[in-house]
Structure 1
Amino acid sequence: MLLPTDDTELNVLKVGVTEKTVGFDVIPPVDLPSSKMDEFCEGFAEILAKKADQENAHVRELRAEGEI
């Protein structure tokens, strides 16, 4: 998902997510120098893990309340 693709819709989505998350003055992941890619991927993985934890906590809360 972080690499270039011929999928125009996916490229637009990636740019939109990047701009919404960190702003307009950011280097897209595909344009990062290789020396920064490991650092970027580690940060990306940390954010995904935090989001997954938040979603799991929300699901547990809904289950506890009998919502799902």
Structure 2
Amino acid sequence: MIRGKCPTCGRAFEGPGLDALPHFPFCSERCRLVDLGRWIDGDYSIPGPPAPEPPIVPPGDEADE
């Protein structure tokens, strides 16, 4: 028996196995898509120093290929 709590809405759920829980660890397709949207919108992030800005290359200074 698998029991859990949806990380999006907090609803408790349970099932006999992962086959019975197609959206695990979420309770529904809706909660799974809400979580995906949060990732896409940048609501979740991993803390750390900001990434350095890429160097600006003036036009005409690019290497010839």
What TM-score do the two structures reach when normalised by structure 1?
A: 0.28
Q: Would you tell me which structure has more strand in proportion to its own residues?
A: 2
Q: Would you tell me which structure has more helix in proportion to its own residues?
A: 1
